[in-house]
Copies of this chain bind each other. A is one copy, B any other.
């Protein structure tokens, strides 16, 4: 079968690797605006052949793994081009916008909206990892709008590469993911910014920062090209979560300012139950 990956980065490239490993007779065609990245993907064996957008007319499966603003621009063209029995799925971190956009498309039933909760802070074809999706969740939105046979095929493939499926409507997805993913990125980026601004002498950062800082600021390495359109498309929920975060930080600041250390203690103690929540995540891995 012919699988076209549009955007051969961390997610697209990792899917390509897993598809080749778990499915028979797969040829991966890579489409990427960044020629250098595409050459790298060929060199690394992540994709077998270079292709152009118009070539998706030959595809059995199209993976749309570009920043969400680019997905919005090309999804309709891709659906217009593909064969009647092809499946097109996206992997973006927002689901409302893309679902809305294809709602009335004549080939809506060829499209499946997915969001694999997997990744690292790295990007590009070099960041692609075999087995990245093992034990991870894949959120699928509006599954009922996809042709039954294509749903079935996709679910089988997702299971083969180790994913657990969870169904969620696009609005609930975008709301929840604002809290557990988008907000984490902002908190991390702004932590990095605050420390960089303060430390004029970088040697001091190098030497004093321990693994705690490293872990908290890790997401600040993420790609602005990928994250800017996510914040744009999920503006309302991102703002809501960010406002609540700032309120909590201000309250904590006020407790310290007023020397109410009992309250400072209790805030932390109550939040310690994140331990059990994270254990819950890890048990499922």
Of listed A119, A120, A176, A274, residue having the most chain B CB within 10 A: A274
Interface residues of A in 179-238 (CB under 8 A from B): 179-181, 183-199, 202, 204-222, 224-225, 227-229, 231-232, 235, 238
**Residues in B whose Cβ lies below 8 Å from that of A269:** 224
Q: Which residue of B has the minimal Cβ distance to A262?
A: B228
A213 to B211, CA, bound (A): 16
**Residues in B whose Cβ lies below 8 Å from that of A217:** 184, 274, 278
A208 to B217, CA, bound (A): 20
**Residues in B whose Cβ lies below 8 Å from that of A51:** none
A217 to B225, CA, bound (A): 24
**Residues in B whose Cβ lies below 8 Å from that of A198:** 179, 241, 244
A100 on interface, CB distance cutoff 8 Å:
no
A232 to B207, CA, bound (A): 24
Q: Which residue of B has the minimal Cβ distance to A276?
A: B202
* CB proximity of A49 to chain B, nearest CB, Å: 31
* CB proximity of A255 to chain B, nearest CB, Å: 9
A228-B185 in contact (CB<8A): no
Q: Which residue of B has the minimal Cβ distance to A185?
A: B212
**Residues in B whose Cβ lies below 8 Å from that of A220:** 268, 271-272, 274
A195 to B181, CA, bound (A): 10
**Residues in B whose Cβ lies below 8 Å from that of A216:** 184, 187-188, 215-216, 218-219
